[in-house]
Amino acid sequence: MSEELGPVRTEVSDGVLVITIDRPDARNAIDTVTAVAVGAAIDRLDADPSLVSGVITGANDTFCAGMDLKAFLAGEKPSIPGRGFAGIVEGPPEKPIIAAVEGYALAGGFEIALACDMIVAAENARFGLPEVKRGLVAAGGGLMRLPERVPYHLAMEWALTGAMISAEQAAAVHLVNRVTAPGGALAGALEIARAIAENGPLAVRATKQIIVESPAWTRAEMFDKQREISLPVRASEDAREGATAFKEKRAPRWTGR
């Protein structure tokens, strides 16, 4: 079943929430209404126990051209409290989310993709942080996340020149997980998202939390911090169900408890 939240469509498929930005006249650029709608979809992903993972994409063969500059000039601020620009860059979901990129993912659009846990890109995808070309700073997390994903000197070059990055270049430095034929990014992202959704939802959420938070842990505290997150999952009904299903050679029936 699909739903529309203004310029954003959502659809549930096998435990996966697909979020589609649909502003074809603006190349899916983000204005305030769109940011609020994306944020609402991310809230739903985190709150709904039947959803295990998510995918965010753009309609009409374009991912997102970034901030809507017309809205910006009109005084809009396309961000929301707690989640930031586009309803995602400062507060990504606690559950895994994958960007499915066709066409342009530029400026804030690239920052949306970088806020995701994985990226699947079509061969025609193009990434870039061209803000410096407009006298602006890429302040939606791109300058902080990009050096974590690609070599430092390459991140510097791309950010300071505002260069356009092809899917081939992105794949060469492992910025994207998979490259598909044009039109195939969403299917590729759904393949990964559904594989995640087959797993224990408590374990999936905790696994992402550990990967995201552990770089800030000291060596002395890291195993204690990990235990705080992992032990409640180990004691859950789902953990017992997983072991029982393995013993009985059947698919597990997760309850999220």
How confident is the model at residue 150, as a pLDDT?
97
Residue 70 vs residue 115, higher pLDDT: 115
Catalytic-labelled residue, pool 131, 168, 221, 248: 131
How confident is the model at residue 69, as a pLDDT?
84
Structure tokens at 249: 């050679």
Q: How many CB atoms lie within 10 A of CB 69?
A: 15
- Can 94 be counted among the known catalytic residues? no
Q: Which fold has domain 2-197?
A: 2-enoyl-CoA Hydratase; Chain A, domain 1 (3.90.226)
How confident is the model at residue 103, as a pLDDT?
97
How confident is the model at residue 71, as a pLDDT?
85
Which pTM was predicted? 0.95
Tokens 């408590």 sit at which residue? 202
Q: Bin 27: left if φ > 0, else alpha if -120 < ψ < 50, else beta.
A: left
Q: Residues 230-241: what's their mean pLDDT?
A: 97
Q: Residues 11-26: what's their mean pLDDT?
A: 96
How confident is the model at residue 158, as a pLDDT?
98
Is residue 36 pLDDT above 60, yes or no?
yes
Is residue 2 pLDDT above 70, yes or no?
no
Cβ-contact 37, 5 below 8 angstroms: yes
Q: Residues 86-95: what's their mean pLDDT?
A: 98
- Can 90 be counted among the known catalytic residues? no
Q: pLDDT tens digit string along 37-75? A: 999 999 999 999 999 999 999 999 999 999 998 888 888
Q: Residues 223-243: what's their mean pLDDT?
A: 97
Catalytic-labelled residue, pool 4, 76, 94, 111: 111
Q: Where are the alpha helices (DSSP H) in the chain?
A: 32-47, 69-73, 108-115, 142-149, 152-161, 167-172, 185-197, 201-213, 222-234, 237-247
| Rounded percentage of the chain residues whose pLDDT exceeds 70 | 98
Q: Residues 126-138: what's their mean pLDDT?
A: 95
Residues 6+ apart with CB under 8 A from 191: none
Q: Bin 196: left if φ > 0, else alpha if -120 < ψ < 50, else beta.
A: alpha
Structure tokens at 176: 């994207």
Residue 19 CA to residue 5 CA, distance in Å, equals 10
Q: Residues 71-83: what's their mean pLDDT?
A: 90
| Domains of the chain by residue range | 2-197, 201-247
Q: pLDDT tens digit string along 119-128? A: 999 999 999 9
Q: Residues 169-197: what's their mean pLDDT?
A: 98
How confident is the model at residue 248, as a pLDDT?
97
Q: Residues 192-203: what's their mean pLDDT?
A: 98
Is residue 31 pLDDT above 70, yes or no?
yes
Mean pLDDT of the chain: 96
Relative to beta strand 104-106, strand 126-128 is parallel
Residue 29, beta-bridge partner list = none
Is residue 1 pLDDT above 60, yes or no?
no
Residue 208 CA to residue 222 CA, distance in Å, equals 15
